Amino acid sequence: MSVQNTPSPTDGGSPYAATKKAYPRFLNAGAFRRLKWLALIVSLGFYWIGPWLRWDRGPGAPGQAILVDLPGRRAYCFGIEIWPQEVYYLTGILIIAALLLFFISALLGRVWCGFACWQTVFTDLFVWIERLFEGERAQRILLDKAPWSANKLWRKAGKQICWILISILAGFGFIGFFDDVHLLLRDLLTGEAGVSAYAAMAVIGGCCYLLAGFAREDVCIYMCPYSRFQSAMFDEHSMIVSYESWRGEPRGPVRGAGRGRPAEQLFAERGHCIDCRMCVQVCPTGIDIRDGSQLACIGCALCVDACNSMMDRVGLPRGLVSYDSSFNQQARAAGDMSSSSPMARPRVYIYLAIIGLVAILMAYSLMTRKTFDVNILHERAPMYVEVSGGRVRNGYTFKILNMVRGPGHFRLTVEGLNKATMSVIGVDGDQMETVDLPVDGDSVGTFRMFVTAPNASLSGKKADLTFALTNLDTGKVVRRDNLFAGPER
Ligand code: SF4
Ligand code: SF4
Arithmetic mean of pLDDT, 268-280: 91
Arithmetic mean of pLDDT, 102-112: 89
* Cα–Cα dist 260/265, whole Å: 10
* Cα–Cα dist 201/168, whole Å: 7
Q: Where do the DSSP E strands lie in 44-86?
A: 66-69, 74-77, 80-82
Closest residue by CA, ligand 2 atom 3: 273
Question: 322 C-alpha to center of ligand 2: Å?
Answer: 11
Arithmetic mean of pLDDT, 460-465: 88
Range scoring the smallest mean pLDDT among 57-61, 121-125, 347-351? 57-61
Sign of CA dihedral 310, 20, 26, 256: negative
Q: How confident is the model at residue 15 (pLDDT cuts 50, 70, 90)?
A: low
Q: Residue 73 pLDDT more than 90?
A: no
Question: Which protein residues are within 6 Å of ligand 1, measured from CB?
Answer: 241, 282-285, 287, 289, 297-303
Q: Residue 323 pLDDT more than 80?
A: yes
Question: 243 C-alpha to center of ligand 2: Å?
Answer: 9
pLDDT of 16? 61
Mutate which of 285, 291, 293, 309 for ligand 1? The one with the most ligand atoms within 8 Å of its CB, which is: 285
pLDDT tens, residue by residue, 362-373: 999 888 888 899
**In a 3-state reduction of DSSP, which class is residue 286?**
coil
Closest residue by CA, ligand 1 atom 7: 283
Sequence-ordered alpha helix ranges (H) in 181-301 = 181-190, 195-210, 218, 226-229, 245-248, 263-266, 278-281
Name the residue among 240, 303, 248 with its Cα closest to residue 30: 303
Instruction: Tell me the ligand closest to 273's alpha carbon.
Output: 2
Closest residue by CA, ligand 1 atom 6: 283
* Cα–Cα dist 355/359, whole Å: 6
Q: 350 or 21: whose pLDDT is higher? A: 350
* Cα–Cα dist 280/287, whole Å: 6
Pair 395, 448: CB distance under 8 Å: yes
Arithmetic mean of pLDDT, 403-409: 88
pLDDT tens, residue by residue, 204-235: 999 999 999 999 988 988 888 887 777 778 88
What percent of the chain lies above the pLDDT cut of 70? 95
Query: Which residues neighbour 181 within 8 Å (Cβ) at sequence distance 6 or greater?
Result: 51, 52, 64
pLDDT of 8? 46
Q: How confident is the model at residue 259 (pLDDT cuts 50, 70, 90)?
A: low
pLDDT of 34? 95
Question: Which protein residues are within 6 Å of ligand 2, measured from CB?
Answer: 243, 248, 273-279, 290, 306-307, 310, 320-321
| Angle between helix 181-190 and 195-210 (nearest 10) | 90
Q: Residue 10 pLDDT more than 60?
A: no
Question: Tell me, what amino acid is at 260?
Answer: G
Mutate which of 120, 241, 279, 323 for ligand 1? The one with the most ligand atoms within 8 Å of its CB, which is: 241
User: Can you list the domains of the chain with their CATH numbers?
Assistant: 372-485 (2.60.40.10)
Which atom, in ligand 1's list, is nearest to the CA of 321?
A: 2
* Cα–Cα dist 137/135, whole Å: 7
pLDDT tens, residue by residue, 179-200: 999 999 999 999 999 999 999 9
Q: 90 or 409: whose pLDDT is higher? A: 409
Q: How confident is the model at residue 270 (pLDDT cuts 50, 70, 90)?
A: confident
- Strand-strand pairing, 434-439 and 385-387: unpaired
Arithmetic mean of pLDDT, 20-32: 87
Q: Which DSSP symbol is given to 186?
A: H
Q: Residue 265 pLDDT more than 70?
A: yes
Question: 115 C-alpha to center of ligand 2: Å?
Answer: 22
Which atom, in ligand 1's list, is nearest to the CA of 282?
A: 7
Q: What is the end-to-end Cα distance of the chain in Å, rounded? A: 75
pLDDT of 14? 59
CA dist list (Å): 136 to 132, 291, 301, 409, 423: 8, 25, 20, 69, 81
* Cα–Cα dist 150/157, whole Å: 10
Arithmetic mean of pLDDT, 456-484: 91
Sign of CA dihedral 212, 215, 221, 226: negative
Q: Which of 12-26, 79-93, 117-131, 400-414 has the highest mean pLDDT?
A: 117-131
Question: 114 C-alpha to center of ligand 1: Å?
Answer: 8
Closest residue by CA, ligand 1 atom 4: 297
Ordered DSSP codes for 157-170: HHHHHHHHHHHHHH
Chain mean pLDDT for the chain: 89
Which atom, in ligand 1's list, is nearest to the CA of 302?
A: 7
**In a 3-state reduction of DSSP, which class is residue 378?**
strand
| Angle between helix 118-134 and 31-49 (nearest 10) | 110
Arithmetic mean of pLDDT, 428-437: 90
pLDDT tens, residue by residue, 39-72: 999 999 999 999 999 999 887 788 999 999 998 8
Arithmetic mean of pLDDT, 156-172: 97
Q: Residue 241 pLDDT more than 70?
A: yes
Ordered DSSP codes for 331-347: HHHTT------TT-SHH
* Cα–Cα dist 442/61, whole Å: 9
* Cα–Cα dist 318/298, whole Å: 21
Mutate which of 307, 309, 318, 322 for ligand 2? The one with the most ligand atoms within 8 Å of its CB, which is: 307
Question: Tell me, what amino acid is at 458?
Answer: L
